[in-house]
Chains A and B, each alone.
Chain A
Amino acid sequence: MNLSPDRQREMLRQMLTIRRFEERASADYLGGKIYGVVHCYIGEEAVAVGVCSALDAQDRIISTHRGHGHTLAKGTPMRGMVAELFARSTGVCKGKGGSMHIADFSVGMLGANGVVAGGFGLVAGAALSAVQRKTDQVAVCFFGDGATNRGPFHENLNLCAIWNLPAVFVLENNRYASTTSTAETMKIKDVAIRAEGYGMPSAIVDGFDAFAVYDAVGAAVERARAGGGPTFVECKTYRARGHFIGDPERYRQKAEVEDVMNASDPIVRMQGLLGDALSPEEFEQLWSEAREEFADAVAFARSSPPPEREEAFFGAYAGDREPGNPVHAAEARERDRFMPFAPDVGSGSQGSGH
């Protein structure tokens, strides 16, 4: 591990920020302030922070439906994220994506993906693009154990391996695919052995230890940048909350969750690793910074307007806002056909569907 005390402290700060974000997002979701579906990352913070700490600003990541942690770790400001969850026009996706489709291209975060295994192809393409454009950018794919049972996982690992593409595949093995235990969905214990089938080197790391993740991914990134091709890193971690907020969790015992978190909570783990380098006062200071950052983001989101209603009809095509563009003309015709019968959404209703 080659991390200065300041960077170690920064990694802890990021983990606390993610923890705070997820605790509050869960509460606000249950309170009806956040729409759609929210998937909580608590328990897995060390993976996002360990991985993103090993990346440069111009490197790209693709995330999953459980993507808040990855997004924050890659550097997306919290205001834009909370505003997106609150479905406001100031959200990072202007209120058109929501929790499952957060993206921030300005920091190399090419999107959370609502389709399990939807990110593999995009990462292969981002890595291929770096080769075509002769840059030294690396593309990192976050995914869960469930995604490794889908076809695109296999097709894209093979493609990246044969073309020696600068990609890193980071498996967050959190033991559950949606509500089904991984033990029931595959006969192997370590998913990393699947990488061997594609001639891709792999590593298995303690996903509760951000420094261990950093080391493994750092080596993989270095290898990718040097033209050595893709690497598979399996992070053994745990999803401390349900698949989605509100999940009744009938498939596991509360005691299991308590046992894992008592033994392995990644934040407690990092406190232990930092030891005397971090005083209890400093820890409290970081916690209160995380709380303040979230409170500020919520205030920002609340004071932001929802998107204008007509925004529903724009943005699917480049050129659809430009009069004279054929896409604009055809879409305008379609709106003309639709609008006389359009539903009146009114001014106050957000249609949360709760």
Chain B
Amino acid sequence: MARTISFSDATLEAMQEEMRRDPTVFLMGEDIAKQGGIFGQFKGLPQEFGFDRVRDTPISEAALVGAGVGAALTGCRPVVDMHFADFITCAMDELVNQAAKLRYMFGEQCIVPMTLRAPDGITKSAGSQHSQALEGWFVHTPGLEVVVPADAEDAKGLLKAAIRSDNPTLYFEHKALFPQKGSVPEDADFVVPIGKAKTMRDGRDVAIVTYGITVGRAMEAASVLEADGIDAAVINLRTVWPLDFDAIVDAVARTHRVLVAHEAVQVGGVGAEIAAFIGEHCFDDLDAPVVRLGAAHVPVPFAPVLQEAMYPKAPMIVDAARRLVRREL
């Protein structure tokens, strides 16, 4: 059985279930306990679990992530809320030099089961410092897992998987997705496995490989393309590291044309890695070069007309897919 709930409530259910399941899970961040989070995503948690397990913190990102790592090293499963993904930059040493490396450089004496929740992405003219999608940096950092939910089902299942993972896991949740509703299974043990992609829609002409909020945009594009007589598959990666390479190979074999799309900056992004992988491993299966769509190489601007001009949404995906299939590139 499944119900329709919001992305925000799906994350809330995940937190409730994991905190009931495991007493070592706790949550800390700015404005979460008394305020309930900027999207209401933490509402009711301190009432059920107490203010010791749901902690309001000072604006001290370095301390929060550092303390998350320390708690994870010593028997807890902390969930640290970054407020906005952009503020991860204030805790880069803690994440990149500490969380990601301790297990390896200490010869596997420890695990670092920390989850970092990072609301990200472009919405409502939030401006250059509150709109970024930074997942590519962390895919580039060995030792971290990176998941990016696309809908309510992913939101719940991936958050539960992140909390249960023995590795430090970044959970990038797009701010514009929080109010969106979607179908979520009832099962209290429902988990979306890390490292496994989901085929949202099968197709034979082109595969749109994507993740996060761009999955919905790709589905919208696929409907438009269908009316054009173009049969597009949509692959929701769900996890960007460890990548589901098998799903990518499979998508290439079925469609022979691939379009990779994400909201993060195109240069040096996850799409570049996927395109390179396909070029190296699936060259003979390709009928056309892989096309990448990502944000332009500029900060996210404020004015709506500027903001909307610099990252891919459905019309841009439709246009690129059409030209890819019709060999007009």
Contact = CB atoms under 8 A, between A and B. Distances in A.
Interface stretch (B55-63, B115-123, B223-231, B282-290): B55-63
A155 B63 contact: yes
B314 interface: no
Contact of A126 (B62, B70, B93): B70
Contacts of B39: none
A48 interface: no
Given A121-B70, A122-B73, A152 B167 contact: no
A124 B67 contact: yes
Contact of B102 (A111, A133, A139, A330): A111
B244 A326 contact: yes
Contacts, number: 183
Contacts of A97: 105-107
Contact of A319 (B55, B143, B166, B239): B166
B195 A121 contact: no
Among A133, A156, A318, max chain B CB count under 10 A is at: A318
A121 B102 CA distance: 13
Contact of B98 (A96, A118, A317): A118
B109 A105 contact: yes
B75 A133 contact: yes
Given A105-B106, A329-B245, A131 B167 contact: no
Contacts of B165: 318
A19 B56 CA distance: 45
Nearest to B242: A330
Given A96-B105, A97-B107, A132-B52, A121 B73 contact: no
B301 interface: no
Nearest to A337: B280
B199 interface: no
A104 B106 CA distance: 8
B20 to A, nearest CB: 15
Interface string B66-102: 1111111111101000000000000001100110111
Question: How extensive is the interface on chain A, given as a class?
Answer: 35 or more
A329 B63 contact: no
A122 B242 contact: no
Contact of A96 (B107, B143, B245): B107
Contact of A128 (B71, B93, B277): B71
Contact of B60 (A104, A122, A159): A159
Contact of A132 (B26, B101, B102, B111): B26
A8 to B, nearest CB: 31
A236 interface: no
Interface string B4-45: 000000000000000000001010000000000000000000
A85 interface: no
A31 B261 CA distance: 55
Nearest to B243: A330
Given A121-B67, A124-B70, A156-B67, A319 B167 contact: yes
Contacts of B142: 316
A78 interface: no
Contacts of B76: 128-129, 132-133
Contacts of B75: 129, 133
A326 to B, nearest CB: 2
B53 interface: yes
A318 B166 contact: yes
B145 A129 contact: no
B235 to A, nearest CB: 16
Interface in B116-143: 142-143
B108 to A, nearest CB: 5
B43 to A, nearest CB: 22
B245 A330 contact: yes
A18 interface: no
B241 interface: yes
B198 interface: no
Among A120, A133, A155, max chain B CB count under 10 A is at: A155
Contacts of A123: 70
A11 interface: no
Contacts of B55: 163
B203 interface: no
Nearest to A124: B67
7 contacts: A121-B70, A123-B70, A124-B66, A129-B75, A155-B60, A159-B64, A315-B107
Interface of B: 24, 26, 52-53, 55, 57-58, 60, 62-76, 78, 93-94, 97-98, 100-111, 142-143, 145, 165-167, 193-196, 239, 241-246, 277, 280
Given A115-B93, A162-B58, 4 more contacts: A62-B70, A129-B76, A315-B108, A316-B104
Interface of A: 60, 62, 91-97, 101, 103-106, 110-111, 113-115, 118, 120-133, 139, 151-152, 155-156, 158-159, 162-163, 315-319, 325-327, 329-331, 333, 337
